[in-house]
Amino acid sequence: MPSPFFYQSLPMRVSFGAGYRSKLADEVNRLGLRKVLVLATEFQAGLAQEISDSLGELSVGVYSKAEMHVPIETARDAQRCATEAGADGCIAVGGGSTTGLGKAIALEYGTPIIALPTTYAGSEMTPVWGLTADGEKKTGKDPRVLPASVIYDPELTLSLPVDMSVTSGFNAIAHAVEALYAPDGSPIISLMAEEGVRALVTALPNITQNPQHIGHRSDALYGAWLCGATLGATTMSLHHKLCHTLGGTFNLPHAETHTVVLPYALAYNAPSAPGAVEALRRATGAQNPAAYLRDLSIKLGAPASLRELGLSAENLERAVALATRNPYANPRDVTQEGIRRLLTAALHGEPIT
């Protein structure tokens, strides 16, 4: 019997298929846009230029200075560039950093975003924006920043290096794990989360063996879509709070931090989230999903400890204090002693039994 729930679907239009970036002009026209600005990181500027060229007169050009965590200066610069070019929409070609820049522009001007994701981070499925000023990242929710259309083209992920594919995939899995025990979860979101985890734990080992296989890349991107959709639909708990604190305060890398912390956060919450554990057992085929996820990530070459990511034991108490400062929904009580134990285990990469 399902527990009582509320469910409101987010408006999402998704096109999924190898080579589907060729459908971008149709999507631009469908939204009635006439002058779009193509966004990317400096590293993906070449791809952005190709996309811009493919749009012909529908594109006003490329802005390729997207950066991790959307620094306010970059956001302001991109907003100025969009205004000067008279852009009426943005095309975000890249990972969460690029989509995040599109969201910063949408937040200011209400300009629609068409996203072409090239990682598994999932930002394209959420109405959550982030902006970093004076070293502090602020986040918020606004329906205007949810991309109006998302084109998942697995060919765009073929270039994602294997190590980034693995950690980005675990970043996606983390969304689904927390959606399974979210305070605003629902049966449909749980189905998507379970299927998303299943797709990714199958695809990631295959990708490490054969990164250029479009079938494996399609499986992973399909899983990333589902996991991203669960992130957009629910409120995240302990795991995401911990990663936000560690990333923001100690400047730890985003996807790698998610990968290391996830098994420990899940092990902490598991006794209080039996339904989530059952779903994850079905998705992974493992009796202890937390131990399974840790072992899998290490087997696939991901970092095993927060120490490897640059956290020192001296920072631990500060992290514990920050992570327990404000109350939030979590299936299990968040206590200082509990979080100290969790973070100590993650710091040293201790085995999970």
Q: Rule CB under 6 A: which residues touch ligand NAD?
A: 41, 43-44, 68-69, 94-98, 100, 118-119, 121-123, 126, 128, 130, 156-157, 159-160, 168, 254-255
SS3 of residue 227 by DSSP: helix
Chain residue whose CB lies nearest ligand NAD: 96
**Type of residue at 32:** G
Q: How far is the CB of 98 from ligand NAD (least distance, A)?
A: 6
Nearest residue (CB) to ligand NAD, 81 versus 101: 101
Nearest residue (CB) to ligand NAD, 9 versus 335: 9
Nearest residue (CB) to ligand NAD, 160 versus 270: 160
Q: How far is the CB of 336 from ligand NAD (least distance, A)?
A: 26
Q: How far is the CB of 142 from ligand NAD (least distance, A)?
A: 11
Q: How far is the CB of 25 from ligand NAD (least distance, A)?
A: 21
Q: How far is the CB of 117 from ligand NAD (least distance, A)?
A: 8
Location of structure tokens 């996606």:
172
Nearest residue (CB) to ligand NAD, 227 versus 266: 227
CB atoms within 10 A of CB 333: 8
Q: Are 176 and 194 in contact (CB under 8 A)?
A: yes
Nearest residue (CB) to ligand NAD, 130 versus 270: 130
Print burial letters for 296-329: b (CB count within 10 Å at least 16), e (below 16): bbbebebbbebeebebeeebbeebbebbbeeeee
CA-CA distances (angstroms) from residue 164 to 134, 152, 255?
28, 18, 8
Nearest residue (CB) to ligand NAD, 241 versus 254: 254
Q: How far is the CB of 333 from ligand NAD (least distance, A)?
A: 27
SS3 of residue 43 by DSSP: coil
Print burial letters for 25-45: b (CB count within 10 Å at least 16), e (below 16): eebbeebebebbbbbbbeebb
Gap between the Cα atoms of 282 and 10, Å rounded: 26
Q: How far is the CB of 220 from ligand NAD (least distance, A)?
A: 11
SS3 of residue 40 by DSSP: strand
Nearest residue (CB) to ligand NAD, 94 versus 196: 94
